[in-house]
Structure 1
């Protein structure tokens, strides 16, 4: 979808912003460009929509050399989101969002209908926020409008320059999650510039780690963290890269343990007798379809009347199987839990313990360092007794 071939940008004063850059971004891929200030990542992005022209080399978008394309026509087919959103202060949110479809000659009603649809997609009620002006919005709301406007003409390519950098950490986390949700549906080809390695890891299908004017490593987040290509990359991603790897390591059902369980409709005294016979002090409580309902202690059901449902407690610490090890670890810390339930929808799959989480992380790091598939590695533990 986007291809750089030996691209260099050199300014008249002799400064080389980008030096002999060659890489490709596949269709539907989200690539993050990360590096220190002045390393050339923003210059790289701006050359894609010809806000900056390269000194040498060629750039292709959808198979076409952009040097042969009218810059204005090119930009109308590429969404562009910047840190300060760039909204027109004298136009309403709805009209801001409808700008590009209108410029492309689409009827006003069609443009506004499209704008309203996208505002809703980014979590803004068009009836409430559409008539407002940018100054009447919070920073996070303005950023959402910026994303909606960039998507309004349904561009195949989206360029994002520090899109979430101007908001507080809580809003930033929420915007990142919402954008990932959108991307999972829209499958745009995205170049996203950031100076934050954690944001690059969280959002990118692949990461381009920049040195001065060139890419030091271009790979998946897991590979960049697990097998840095150079001492520079290792230093840039940080000494805590093993912890960062929690973000990109999914939960493997094979790592789950399967504790005793009781059914909601099971008589409490019978459940207590069975659990005591199994040596269990507690049990997960499931409904008849295997859905997670909560948990219960063995002693509190001993001699009790009624069904298990009357004694079950709410399960606070749980994560979906689609989550990451970081999600699981965060929930463990939040609830000071010795284990965390893992579900697929509502169906209970098992529990993840700190020991299993640690083992999964060690296995992932070992696989990345050795360049082998994770499922082909195992972790040997030294007995402690």
Structure 2
């Protein structure tokens, strides 16, 4: 979709911002350009919409040399989002969003309908926010309007220059999450400039790590973190790149343990026998629809005098005890494929020794423990270094030595 062929940008004072850059971005791919200030990443991006003209080389957009395209027409085909947002202070949110459709000659009804649709898409109710002015919005809300405006004419390419850099960390993380959801639906071809390696790792399908005017490594995030191509890249991503890798390593079925599973209406004797048979100190509890309810401790079934649930206390004293009498609710769960970082955070948040993992149909598939999380991270790193699948990696442990 976007191709750089030996592109160089040299200024009259002799400064070379970009040197013989060759880079290809596939259709629907989100590529993050990351590096320190002055490395050439923003210059690279601005050459795509001809805000900066290259000194040599050429840039192709969907196979067309952009040097042969009128710059104004080119920019109307490319969405552009910057850190300062750049909303018109005298225009309402709705009119700001409709700027490009207005320039393209859409009718008033068409552009207002499109603007309202996009505001809704980025989480701003047009009936509530459409008539407001930029100074009546929070920083995060203005950034949302900036993204909506960039998408208004449905451009195939989106350029984003540190778009979330001017908001606080909590809002920034929320905006990143929302943008990832949006991208999973729209599949735009995106160049995203950032100086933050964690943001680059979190958002990018691939990361271009810049040195001075050149790319040191161009790979998926896991490869950049697990196998830095040069000492410069290793230093840039940091000594804690193993921790950063948690963000890009998904939970897979092979990472999970399979503890005993019991149901709420199972007799306690049945649950006790299953847990003893498997030598387990606890079991996962499902309801009658096979959906996750919680867990059952061995102490609860081994001791008749153990703590009972509220349901048990209100139950008829003559009824035989069931799992429901002693089961505990479990709020720590994640869908299969969630990043290990999210699993680790959830364990800390709930002070849990394990996290339940569900499939797309909300069926229980297993649990992730701290030990298995660590093994998953090690397998992911080894798999990238050896260029094999994660399930092909056999780990050596202290017990194997």
Name the TM tier (shorter chain): over 0.9
Moved more, 46-55 or 259-268: 259-268
Deviation string 1:169-203 (CA, Å, 9 cap, x unpaired) is 11111100100000000000000000000000000
- Deviation for aligned residue 1:357: 1.1
Once the two structures are TM-superposed, the CA of residue 222 in structure 1 deviates from its matched residue by 0.9
Q: Distance in 1 between matches of 2:75 and 2:384?
A: 39
Structure 2 distance, partners of 1:309, 1:344, is 24
Quote the residue 1:193 is aligned against: 193
| 1:87 aligned residue | 87
- Matched pairs, number: 385
CA deviation string 1:90-125 (max 9, x = no partner): 001111111111111111111111111111111111
Cα displacement (A) at 1:320: 1.1
Answer yes or no: is 1:332 the counterpart of 2:347.
yes
Counterpart CA distance in 1 for 2:129 and 2:288 is 44
Residue of structure 1 equivalent to 2:315: none
Matching residue of 1:356? 372
CA separation of 1:258/1:374 partners in 2, compared to 1, >3 Å: closer, same or farther?
closer
1:343 matches 2:395: no
2:307 corresponding residue in structure 1 = none
Q: Which moved more, 1:337-346 or 1:41-50?
A: 337-346
- In the TM superposition, what is the alpha-carbon distance from 1:282 to its structure 2 partner? 2.3
How far apart, CA to CA, are the structure 2 residues paired with 1:40 and 1:299? 62
> Does the aligned pair in 1 maintain the 2:88–2:96 contact within 8 Å?
yes
Give matches, 1:112-151, under 5 Å: 112-151=112-151
After TM superposition, give the deviation of residue 353 of structure 1 in Å. 1.2
In the alignment, which residue of structure 2 is the partner of 1:374? 390
Structure 1 residues 258 and 120: CA distance shift in structure 2, 3 A: same
Scaled by the length of structure 2, the TM-score of the pair is 0.92
The structure-2 alpha-carbon separation of the partners of 1:46 and 1:348, relative to structure 1 and needing over 3 Å to count, comes to: same
Q: Deviations over 1:213-242 (max 9, x none)?
A: 111111111111111111001000000111
Q: Is the 8 A contact 2:252 2:337 kept in 1?
A: no
Conserved 8 A contact 1:289-1:347:
no
> Are the counterparts in 1 of residues 89 and 133 from structure 2 also a CA contact under 8 Å?
yes
Q: What is the rounded CA distance, in whole Å, between the counterparts of 2:326 and 2:108 in structure 1? A: 60
Tell me the distance in 1 between the aligned counterparts of 2:155 and 2:264: 51
Question: Whole-Å Cα distance in 1 between the matches of residues 335 and 14 of structure 2?
Answer: 53
Aligned residues: CA RMSD: 1.6
Report the alpha carbon displacement of residue 298 of structure 1 after superposing the two structures with TM: 3.5
Name the TM-score, length of structure 1 as normaliser. 0.96
243-252 or 181-190: bigger deviation: 243-252
1:278 CA drift (Å): 4.3
Over 3 Å counting, the alpha-carbon distance change for 1:311 and 1:187 in structure 2 is same
Verify the 8 A CA contact 2:260 2:274 in the aligned structure 1.
no
- Show the counterpart of 2:267: 267
How far has the Cα of 1:212 moved from its partner? 0.4
Q: Trace 1:6-85 onto structure 2 (pairs within 5 A).
A: 6-85=6-85
Residue 96 of structure 2 corresponds to which residue in structure 1? 96
State the distance in 2 between where 1:284 and 1:102 align: 58
Q: Residues of 1 paired with 2:23 and 2:75: CA distance?
A: 21
User: Distance between the aligned counterparts of 1:116 and 1:313, measured in 2?
Assistant: 46
**Alpha-carbon distance, 1:270 to partner:** 4.1
* Segment of structure 1 superposing worse, 42-51 or 301-310: 301-310
TM-superposed deviation, 1:276: 4.2
| TM-aligned CA distance change 1:281 to 1:378, over 3 Å | closer
Paired residues for 1:227-376 under 5 Å: 227-301=227-301, 303=304, 305-345=320-360, 346-376=362-392
State how far apart, in whole Å, the 2-side matches of 1:353 and 1:245 are.
18
Query: 1:341–1:89: structure 2 CA closer, same or farther, 3 Å change rule?
Result: same
Residue 359 of structure 1 and its aligned partner are, at CA, apart by 1.1
Structure 2: runs of 5+ lacking an equivalent: 305-311, 313-319
Q: Could you tell me how far 1:330 is from its partner in structure 2?
A: 1.2
State the alpha-carbon separation in 1 of the partners of residues 207 and 297 from structure 2.
47
- Contact 1:272 1:299 (C-alpha < 8 Å) held by counterparts: no
